Amino acid sequence: MARNHLLEQTTIDHNRLITHRVPPRGQNQADVSWVDLLKYAGISGRTELKQSTKTVSVVNVLDENDNPIPLLDENEDPILDDDDNPVYQTTEHVDEVVELGQMSDEERARIVSGEIIEVSGIVKVDHDSRASSIITLSRRMYADWEARFFERYQHCGLNQG
């Protein structure tokens, strides 16, 4: 699962960055968990990324020796097609491709469940950005977001905002 997504360029040297993190643990001053406050604020479960692209294909079901398994009739005889070829058991296979600006089904499920949260922002990116600099940018962006979130909700109960 991708943790950081560098998306569209907003200006010559700035890009939108989305990072996925574990939600803050513990409780605020009003004894409300940060996870519940994330849900209350509408932050948990929200996503800016699109669903991944999926291709569904039909494939033969294989036995332990990687041979296709024929369909059998009520007499345990193989079913044949119009050309007298055996008809095999098939199943659907889904190939998932996650491209720029998309997320996998697993990632989306984890966000919806509240297991991870999504934070986005605009960051200044060098043209030769490497993975390590993206990680540093995402950590800084998340820390800034977390500080603002804690400050805003430090004394809130779930019936106030």
Tens digit of pLDDT at every position of the chain (161 positions): 568 887 777 888 888 888 889 899 999 998 999 988 888 888 888 888 888 888 888 888 989 999 999 999 999 888 999 999 999 999 988 888 877 778 888 888 888 888 899 888 888 876 666 667 888 888 999 999 999 999 998 888 766 54
pLDDT score for 127: 61
pLDDT score for 130: 67
- Cα gap 47→117, rounded to integer Å: 9
pLDDT score for 40: 85
At 130 the three-state DSSP class reads coil
pLDDT score for 14: 84
Query: Kind and range of the H or E element at 138?
Result: helix 131-153
pLDDT score for 147: 92
- Cα gap 91→61, rounded to integer Å: 6
Is the overall model pTM greater than 0.75, yes or no? Answer: no
pLDDT score for 2: 63
Radius of gyration of the chain (CA): 24
- Cα gap 29→27, rounded to integer Å: 7
Of 23, 17, 25, 27, which Cα lies nearest the Cα of 43? 23
pLDDT score for 161: 45
